[in-house]
Structure 1
Amino acid sequence: MGRRRAPEGPARPGLIARAEGLRESTGSWAGLLRDRRRRGVRDPELVVGDGAMGLWRALAEAFPAARHQRCRVHKARNVTNALPESAQPGATKAIQEICDVEDRKHAEKAMEAFVKTYGTRWPKAVSKITDDREERLAYYDFPAEHWIHLRTTNPIESTFSTVRLRTKVTRGAGGPAAALAMVFELVESAQARRRAITGAHLVPLVRAGARFGNVFPVEREAAA
């Protein structure tokens, strides 16, 4: 996904590539990403995804400078699934507190509180929080206006649900080429209903390398 601007109106997220692939394999992702690089796509500032390892392995090859952000919804589901049902409501609230605070400092404190509360009895669940700490909190380095777009893959998941609904109804699209064409048309149609990018005027600053502390841009640390 990437940024697109219609001839008139606000900037919205948009499709930049689609390809036939084998589920979420590294090879399928690598082919798509290498094609984007050949066509001139720069390393993204941030890539948001779930825990499927195929994407992250392929990304390390094709766009090694891109930072990673794990989807908060998928992560919360993975963590609670590793807990007994009795502990899930409290854990869900604690996970939300990690993601919904005003800055990284408070998020890290909330994460440490989660470890203290659940670490002794359920270390497996806690490891799902702590093992990819940076990938969970990367979005805090971006404008606060953008956080709503960067913390989860839900915006694109809603588009995929439209595609899945149609493919179930058609029960076959007449071959791979026809299926890709149908998916493209469905996604193009769904894009018009996507939420406009909040703080779109800040995107050039992000691409120029600015890092943000809550709201205001801060200078990058000098290279060692």
Structure 2
Amino acid sequence: MLPLLYLHGLSFGEFVPALERFLGGTAGLSPATVTRLTKQWADDHAAFQARDLADRVGLRLRLGRRGAPQGAARTGALVRPGALLGVRLDGTKELIALAEGLRESTESWADLLRDCRRRGMRDPELVIGDGAMGLGKALAEVFPAARHQRCRVHKARNVTNCLPKSAQPGATKAMQEIYNAEDRGHAEKAVDAFAKTYGAKFPKAVARITDDREELLAFYDFPAEHWSHLRTTNPIESTFSTVKLRTKVTRGAGSPAAALAMVFKLVESAQARWRSITGAHLVPLVRAGARFESGVLVEREERAA
């Protein structure tokens, strides 16, 4: 597995598959056909969840919006699947796992990550997430060597929610200076400038940046060719936008297991259209522990000598 990790939580109420759209029509969709399809998809998903993950390097994590269908488990927490998207050593992206979990539960995240470790996954080099509750603790337990990168899109939303509308355009531009800086040093200065400009009037908004400084700037320590891939959870977001277009909200999907199997088939289909990351040839260097400064490979001292 590569050095990235993307995690995405799905709301069963949002992603209940519409079989007519998925299969291109209603012909042949008798109860027996639906039962056969969902059974086959469940078997395919089970085989997918059991495969070896020893050659993966990275993952992304993301949680979705609230909601669960009628008939889904009600345990006081929100029930939803967690999805992990990773990058392989050759730079291709791959769905790593898709499993049911609880929105608020650290243990649910930890269970999903433990299963990946059990199947051979080493600590990812970098995990990109949206600040999901419980995720940090789960990562520290299961993949303690992995670094964490906060999605800039979700962070920007969190910051602007703490500001009046009149201040939002300026703050958005100031945050772009942080994420689009030429290197980490300039990004650090942009963080300080943001704090100086907005700290007196909007300390809560500033704290959302300064308290997470390291997790916001982690991507600068990786190849510059990879920066556009590492700043956000967009790769998995766009995938599930496609899933949305092929599904519809209903009062239930028969069972959470059936909904999960159908979503798996939709994502599996979308996976064929994912493009490799830019600078794929640098992925093995990242996994081997090569050091990058300002996005450029730093030669080892002994080699330079």
| 1:3 correspondence with 2:3 | no
Question: Which residues in structure 2 correspond to 1:212-223 (within 5 Å)?
Answer: 212-218=292-298
Task: Show the counterpart of 2:98.
Answer: 18
* Whole-Å separation in 2 of the counterparts to 1:20 and 1:135: 27
* Whole-Å separation in 1 of the counterparts to 2:86 and 2:190: 31
Task: Show the counterpart of 1:63.
Answer: 143
* Whole-Å separation in 1 of the counterparts to 2:167 and 2:282: 40
* Whole-Å separation in 2 of the counterparts to 1:141 and 1:20: 33
Name the one with the larger strand percent. 2
Structure 1 vs Structure 2 CA RMSD = 1.9
Q: Do 1:4 and 1:13's aligned partners in 2 also have CA atoms closer than 8 Å?
A: yes
The alpha-carbon deviation at position 211 of structure 1 amounts to 1.9
TM-score (structure 1 length as normaliser): 0.90
Task: Show the counterpart of 2:161.
Answer: 81
SS of residue paired to 2:93: strand
The structure-2 alpha-carbon separation of the partners of 1:219 and 1:61, relative to structure 1 and needing over 3 Å to count, comes to farther
Question: Which residues in structure 2 correspond to 1:162-177 (within 5 Å)?
Answer: 162-169=242-249, 171-177=251-257
* Whole-Å separation in 2 of the counterparts to 1:11 and 1:106: 28
Name the one with the larger helix percent. 1
Q: Do 1:142 and 1:206's aligned partners in 2 also have CA atoms closer than 8 Å?
A: yes
- Gaps (5+ residues) in structure 1? none
SS of residue paired to 1:193: coil
Amino acid at match of 2:130: D
CA displacement, residues 129-182 of structure 1 (integer Å, 9 cap, x when unaligned): 000110000000000000111000011111122334444345533212221211
Q: Do 2:220 and 2:295's aligned partners in 1 also have CA atoms closer than 8 Å?
A: no
Question: Which residues in structure 2 correspond to 1:75-224 (within 5 Å)?
Answer: 75-169=155-249, 171-218=251-298
* Whole-Å separation in 1 of the counterparts to 2:248 and 2:208: 33
Does 38-47 or 169-178 show the bigger shift? 169-178
Amino acid at match of 1:119: G
Q: Do 1:24 and 1:55's aligned partners in 2 also have CA atoms closer than 8 Å?
A: no
* Whole-Å separation in 2 of the counterparts to 1:171 and 1:186: 20
The structure-2 alpha-carbon separation of the partners of 1:24 and 1:117, relative to structure 1 and needing over 3 Å to count, comes to same
The alpha-carbon deviation at position 36 of structure 1 amounts to 0.6
The alpha-carbon deviation at position 86 of structure 1 amounts to 0.6
SS of residue paired to 2:96: coil
* Whole-Å separation in 2 of the counterparts to 1:207 and 1:14: 17
Query: How many residues align structurally?
Result: 217
Larger radius of gyration: 2
Runs of 4+ in 1 over 6 A off after TM superposition: none
Identity of aligned residues (%): 79
Amino acid at match of 1:98: I
The structure-2 alpha-carbon separation of the partners of 1:72 and 1:218, relative to structure 1 and needing over 3 Å to count, comes to same
* Whole-Å separation in 2 of the counterparts to 1:114 and 1:146: 25
